[in-house]
């Protein structure tokens, strides 16, 4: 991880200062969003750690039409944020929920109730829900000629899975579109390949085709023209 941080040191420090600014600038939006969660069913609020920087990269115009894909929705906290903020978002939410991927470490949750909570939390909104493995689903989306302006990847954090997710997501990302990765600098000794090792391969393979916009525990890349 140290080697990766050194390689991208400039991005790392630039992003650190952007993160600090965003924490300040989006403080009130975060307070307002947290108030909306009062009657919802969220047992985990991981997304709140990314709230400010996620906001920074989402469209500033809340009436903008854009194509959004989320990989790994859990109870739908980030999904709820996008749907409640953007009036014309064309949103696709994808998660495997109770169909475990044998290669991935799964969270020790009752995924039947997690999926039910997702359905309840998002009831009344318009969106496409896909219940399947991320790679399989993104390949299907590619075959259907779907493409996205913003892809949030928060599925399996195994290095090999995140690398496959990144490769499939890149195929269905529009030119100038963004991929936002969660928690890629997190170390977990139960994983054979760490997230950052997968991402590091992705960054080397695609270095000519992408621009790094943000590099901290979240990574944001833009598809170059």
| Residues of the shown chain interacting with ligand SAM in the complex, contacts defined by CB under 6 A | 44, 46-47, 72-75, 77-78, 95-97, 101, 104, 133-134, 154-156, 161
CB 192 within 8 A of CB 162: no
Q: What is the closest distance, in whole angstroms, from the C-beta atom of residue 38 to ligand SAM in the complex?
A: 17
- Nearest distance in Å: CB 208, ligand SAM: 28
Of 149 and 183, nearer to ligand SAM (C-beta) is 183
Of residues 52 and 133, the one with the C-beta less far from ligand SAM: 133
Select 108 or 189, whichever has its Cβ closest to ligand SAM: 108
Shortest spacing between CB 119 and ligand SAM, in angstroms: 13
The distance of closest approach from Cβ of residue 127 to ligand SAM in the complex, given in angstroms and rounded to an integer, is 14
- Edge-to-edge strand ranges of the sheet holding 66-71: 128-131, 89-95, 66-71, 148-153, 173-181, 219-223, 210-215
What residues contact residue 51 under an 8 Å CB cut-off, 6+ apart? 26, 29, 30, 33, 81
* Cβ contact 19:53 at 8 Å: yes
Provide the 3-class DSSP secondary structure of residue 132: coil
Q: What is the Cα–Cα distance from 157 to 164, expressed in whole angstroms?
A: 11
Q: Closer to ligand SAM at the Cβ: 195 or 216?
A: 195
Complex with ligand SAM: residue 144 or 204, whichever CB lies closer: 144
Tell me the closest approach of the beta carbon of residue 211 to ligand SAM, in angstroms. Answer: 24
User: What is the rounded distance in angstroms from the CA atom of residue 46 to the CA atom of residue 49?
Assistant: 6
Closest approach of ligand SAM to the CB of residue 74, in Å:
4
Query: Which residue is closest to ligand SAM by CB?
Result: 72
Distance CA 138, CA 63 (A): 26
Nearer to ligand SAM, 9 or 107 (CB): 107
Query: Tokens 């992705």 correspond to what residue?
Result: 202
DSSP 8: T
């Amino acid at each position: 991880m140290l080697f990766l941080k050194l390689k991208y040191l400039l991005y790392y420090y630039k992003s650190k200062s952007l993160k600090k600014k965003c924490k300040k600038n989006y403080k009130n939006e975060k307070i307002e969003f947290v108030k909306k969660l009062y009657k919802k069913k969220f047992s985990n609020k991981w997304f709140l750690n990314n709230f400010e920087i996620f906001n920074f990269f989402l469209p500033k115009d809340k009436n903008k039409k854009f194509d959004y894909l989320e990989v790994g929705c859990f109870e739908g906290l980030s999904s709820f944020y996008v749907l409640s903020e953007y009036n014309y978002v064309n949103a696709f939410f994808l998660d495997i929920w109770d169909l475990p991927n044998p290669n991935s470490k799964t969270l020790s949750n009752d995924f039947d109730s997690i999926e039910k909570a997702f359905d309840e939390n998002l009831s009344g909104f318009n969106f496409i829900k896909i219940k399947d493995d991320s790679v399989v689903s993104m390949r299907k989306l590619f075959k259907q000629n779907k493409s996205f302006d913003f892809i949030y990847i928060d599925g399996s954090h195994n290095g090999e899975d995140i690398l496959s997710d990144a490769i499939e997501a890149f195929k269905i990302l529009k030119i100038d579109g963004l991929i936002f990765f969660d928690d890629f600098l997190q170390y977990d000794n139960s994983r054979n390949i760490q997230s950052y090792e997968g991402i590091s391969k992705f960054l080397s393979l695609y270095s000519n085709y992408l621009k790094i916009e943000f590099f901290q525990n979240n990574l944001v890349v833009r598809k170059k023209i």
